[in-house]
Structure 1
Amino acid sequence: MASESNQVIQRLFQRFFRDELSALSPADRAAFESEFEGRYGELLERSSSTTTTSFSDLVGFGDGPIKPFDSLQMPLLRNDFDESIIPPQLQASAELYYIYQMDRMKLFQVVDVLRRLFQNGQIRIQRGPGARGLYILEKWRPIRYKRRDRLIAYRRVFNYGRAPVPAGAIVNRSFHFMLVAFMNAMSQYFQDLTIGQVIRGSASINDRPFAALATVQRVGTDLRYHLDRSSYGNILALTRETGQYVQQIFELFDAPDIKKSFDANTKWDVIEAVANRHLGGAAEMSQRAKMADAGRRVLQYIAENEFRTTITPAEFDADAKKMGSQADAWLAAYRLTREGRRFPGLDGDRVHWSYGLNRNTASRIAA
């Protein structure tokens, strides 16, 4: 279709939105608006060109004479940047984050200590399921990906630790700042939404919430992009193999004879007891456990969400409401960790902190 026809369609739909939809009630307008937006996009797509024949006509290389601009088809320019993300890589990053927090909790060190105690006869077990598990522990251990591989993966995807980065690998240097910014933005969004509903008295009085949705979408989109570009290679395979190992470790720690040896009621008590006796103390277990669970859920949500700007606030609220609670839980736990107590970007300046800018630089950019 020629460019003139394309422009006519745009003018007609703009007039329709302005004259017709404005006369409807808020409930009817919300019901029809998204449907007409979809129809509008379909018509524009049909009236545009997806081939290069228009360029040939423009420069005179076509079958006929050179055509005027009004007779040429409008080019169809697709902005599919956000859709180019590979969800399995982001899902693997979410699992890797859980594994990282378990590593910080000294999970892998504890199981190595138990194996050494069993071999040296320093733990009073011999025939139970825990003893058998320690005996066949070598069979459960990751075959290809050891501790060094985990440390490199943490450095690549999260920029955590000081492991050397392989030459040519991409390091997600802004991950932690973006993660804190997203948690803050998500938490602040639902706090503002709650305040708005309390002030209005009901969620149905106005179809626009008192909250900033754009901040959540912007930080979430950037976080998706940086996780995607830094999680190529063995991250998916590493999380599968190490995740199976972590599951087996938890089953081992939950064995009755091992729990009895340390006077423990749960597998978490086993980790704490071994860490306190042999590893210099437990490492913020309560905080790390909550950060592992909440962080993994939020990253899974980011992996599955495209953060479309055309989504309505009501649709976003229904989809992300549970993530607001997870973000609050993550922030509450992180504030009590050693690095969280001195991290300056937990409250305020959420977007400026997403790339790790210091306060003076952020203030200059904002001005």
Structure 2
Amino acid sequence: MASEKPKKTAQRKAAAPPVAATKRPSRAPRKKPAAAAAAPPPRPRPARVKTQADPSRAGLAAPEAKAQAAAATPQTGATLMNRILFIDLAERDRNRRAEIRVRIANLERIENTKARSGGLGPDLKKELDDLRLELADRDTTDDLYRGVAEQVSGKSWDVLAQSGKTDYVMRYGFMGSQYGVQPNELGVEEKEILAVCGLLLLDGLQGPGNLNFISKVTIARGEFEQNRALFMAAFNRFTTRHAVTLKSQIDKGYVDPEAPGFISGSASTSGAKGMKGQVPDADDLVYAVSANSLAAIVRRIRDEGISPNDPWLVSRMDNAFNLLTGMVEGAPPSALEIMLPDLEEAVDVEIQKENLQASQAIYFAYQLEEMRMFQVVDKIVDLFRGGLLPLGKGTVGDKLFKYFKTSTERITEAERRELYYRMFGAPGGNPSAGDPNRDFNELWLRFVSAVSSFARQISVERLLRNNVPMSVSQEQVRKAARDLGANLSRNGYGIAYFAATELQNTIINFRDILQDPDLRSAFGARDMWQVIDMVNVNYLGGAKNTHRFRTQSRAGAIIIRWISENIQRLANISGPVLSIDEISNPQMRISSGANPTLKPTDWDLVNACEQWLAVMGVQEQSVEHYSQSIEAPAMTSRPIDMPQAARDVLASVGVNLPV
């Protein structure tokens, strides 16, 4: 206050009129009354805000209650705004950092054993130094976010990271506006980057490695501008909806463990336990939100033709959120993603992981076969060969010509049908080529129904707040999953692995051909699905339900992948199979920041089961019936060959078995 008086006096002097201009006669100063001269009138003080207990927070855990108390300002008692954490982008950064740590450990192991291994060469030493620098840097390691930030800002990531400004830089899932002791609102550029990242993840684009990355970003930015008002309403509605502690997100594997203290204080949890003054602290409350989910909500609202000025916009957004998180029926089917699993991993347990991964790719191909995708491409090649397509020199012509030349190297339709027949009991196979998998359909339906019923019971319990015993338990889900996994593993031996890799490459090639703009223009189609429909109708005897089969292909791939990734859960005799917290409160996580056909979560599994049942038109009474347990069919963990003596006996009576 003492420093303010001279300043105010100088201001008054500067504002006073010049003495020469006034020429007033001097007068004796008037004496002020004693009461007025005693002291100046008191300056009004801001009213102190008195905090009151929030009944909605009465059940907070100790760390969360402590975090809220610590967030209150000592001057006014008002609560500071929580930081906004984008968990899908934070998880992508965490996964990349985990990969870097593994690579560093491997290189350091080689260097530490150089007496035997010869140590690291110059290239590997440089790689080790670069990885250490990248890991020490707090900026996000996610290539997708970096690529989008470069396109939105018009600057390279190196320039953005070294400029000292945080407008376009993300750290551990927090945008630059969240770095202060008191976080600010998300900026316009930040919202655009987040919206574009969400749209790209929704479309299955994982990073700049895609050849069409820049064009995809441009399209996504156009979609953001076209629906800017809806995006802003979604940000306002959902970015402050789910308050959780930062530690809870670290424990669940969404955020890197080094996140606490990255703004001020120690940035390493290993050396910061018990330390004071970390910003953010592990016990701080944050708002968990997903850019992927925001984009999905806006798209659903837009597709329903809802205006940003709709008086019921908030309720419609909440309803879209509930649909997308699987809490009610009617969740939309996912778009087709051709990103099949890594088939190189194997675990030597009763249920072979590599056999299930092969089954995943073959099931994916089987559904596309039912759609006639293979026959459609063959017909397009025939039309191309006969000069009946208006295609000239171009990339699609190269692809079609290469496909025509390599026709003798591919698996034939009869061979594919035999594979589907042996693995899934699908009709059309040759009985002499092997026994069909007659148990697959029932085991599949029982597992899908058990998961769906279990998830719906959780939703009903949350609505009614009752302790009604569940008709479907965790053990019933475990048994159904174990039976299906053992069945797929049993029938996944032999040629299945090698056929899966071949089919995966074929499907990727089909996607590139059918999505080519020149080919779509030749058929007057908007997308690859319209091309398939037109060829089916005009040349192959009638239309197929492409929506159903592409939904089944993706949902089925997620279901099989979940079983292969959770073999240990199925092998345990105790403990939960499905996480109730993850199913009932997915915190706006659409696909955990990664493709669910590679790393599906429990919520991804539930959503896939609901989608599969919906497109198949399975009635509620059938779902309830198949969700109940039955005695598991007799099956072995691997094929059993018939002894040669038995083969000789059968051959003597004219029965020749396949070798």
Scaled to the shorter chain, the TM-score interval is 0.5 to 0.7
State the alpha-carbon separation in 2 of the partners of residues 282 and 187 from structure 1: 30
Match of 2:368 in 1: 102
State the alpha-carbon separation in 2 of the partners of residues 194 and 344 from structure 1: 18
Q: Does the aligned pair in 1 maintain the 2:523–2:534 contact within 8 Å?
A: yes
Distance 1:163 1:354, change over 3 A: farther
Greater relative CO (CA pairs within 8 A, separation 6+)? 1
Distance 1:294 1:254, change over 3 A: same
Q: Does the aligned pair in 2 maintain the 1:117–1:123 contact within 8 Å?
A: yes
Please report how far the alpha carbon of residue 298 of structure 1 lies from its aligned counterpart in structure 2 after TM superposition. Answer: 0.5
Match of 2:604 in 1: 322
Q: Does the aligned pair in 1 maintain the 2:472–2:628 contact within 8 Å?
A: no
Please report how far the alpha carbon of residue 312 of structure 1 lies from its aligned counterpart in structure 2 after TM superposition. Answer: 3.1
State the alpha-carbon separation in 1 of the partners of residues 382 and 410 from structure 2: 22
Q: Does the aligned pair in 2 maintain the 1:159–1:171 contact within 8 Å?
A: yes
What is the letter of the counterpart of residue 328 of structure 1? E
Match of 2:301 in 1: none
Distance 1:345 1:143, change over 3 A: farther
State the alpha-carbon separation in 1 of the partners of residues 578 and 359 from structure 2: 29
What is the letter of the counterpart of residue 510 of structure 2? I
1:311 matches 2:575 = yes
State the alpha-carbon separation in 1 of the partners of residues 578 and 489 from structure 2: 28
Match of 2:499 in 1: 238
Distance 1:127 1:313, change over 3 A: closer
From 390, 414, 420, the equivalent of 1:124 is 390
From 289, 297, 302, the equivalent of 2:563 is 302
Q: Does the aligned pair in 1 maintain the 2:356–2:564 contact within 8 Å?
A: yes
Q: Does the aligned pair in 1 maintain the 2:458–2:580 contact within 8 Å?
A: no
Please report how far the alpha carbon of residue 299 of structure 1 lies from its aligned counterpart in structure 2 after TM superposition. Answer: 0.8
State the alpha-carbon separation in 2 of the partners of residues 310 and 166 from structure 1: 43
Match of 2:548 in 1: 287
1:224-274 CA distance string (max 9 Å, x none): 111111111001100101210111011011111110011111111111111
Q: Does the aligned pair in 2 maintain the 1:101–1:291 contact within 8 Å?
A: yes
Q: What is the count of residue pairs matched by the alignment?
A: 265
Q: Does the aligned pair in 2 maintain the 1:90–1:224 contact within 8 Å?
A: yes
Q: Does the aligned pair in 1 maintain the 2:355–2:493 contact within 8 Å?
A: yes
Please report how far the alpha carbon of residue 351 of structure 1 lies from its aligned counterpart in structure 2 after TM superposition. Answer: 3.8
What is the letter of the counterpart of residue 133 of structure 1? K
* Structure with greater helix share of residues: 1
Distance 1:222 1:271, change over 3 A: same
1:171 matches 2:453 = no
State the alpha-carbon separation in 1 of the partners of residues 531 and 628 from structure 2: 41
Structure 2 length-normalised TM: 0.38
1:154 matches 2:420 = yes
From 504, 512, 516, the equivalent of 1:251 is 512
Match of 1:213 in 2: 474
Instruction: Flag structure 1 segments of 5+ consecutive residues without an equivalent.
Output: 1-26, 28-81, 357-367
How large is the Cα RMSD of the aligned pairs?
A: 2.8
State the alpha-carbon separation in 1 of the partners of residues 527 and 581 from structure 2: 37
State the alpha-carbon separation in 2 of the partners of residues 92 and 110 from structure 1: 24
Percent identity over the alignment is 25
State the alpha-carbon separation in 1 of the partners of residues 442 and 472 from structure 2: 22
Q: Does the aligned pair in 1 maintain the 2:474–2:576 contact within 8 Å?
A: no
Match of 1:75 in 2: none
What is the letter of the counterpart of residue 274 of structure 1? V
Match of 1:138 in 2: 404
State the alpha-carbon separation in 2 of the partners of residues 225 and 305 from structure 1: 13
Q: Does the aligned pair in 1 maintain the 2:520–2:527 contact within 8 Å?
A: yes
Most deviating of 209-218 and 278-287? 209-218
1:182 matches 2:459 = no
Q: Does the aligned pair in 2 maintain the 1:157–1:172 contact within 8 Å?
A: yes
Partner-residue secondary structure (3-state), 1:84: coil
Structure 1 length-normalised TM: 0.66
Q: Does the aligned pair in 2 maintain the 1:142–1:242 contact within 8 Å?
A: no
> Within 5 Å, which residues of 2 pair with 1:2-81?
none
Q: Does the aligned pair in 2 maintain the 1:174–1:354 contact within 8 Å?
A: no
What is the letter of the counterpart of residue 283 of structure 1? K
1:268 matches 2:268 = no
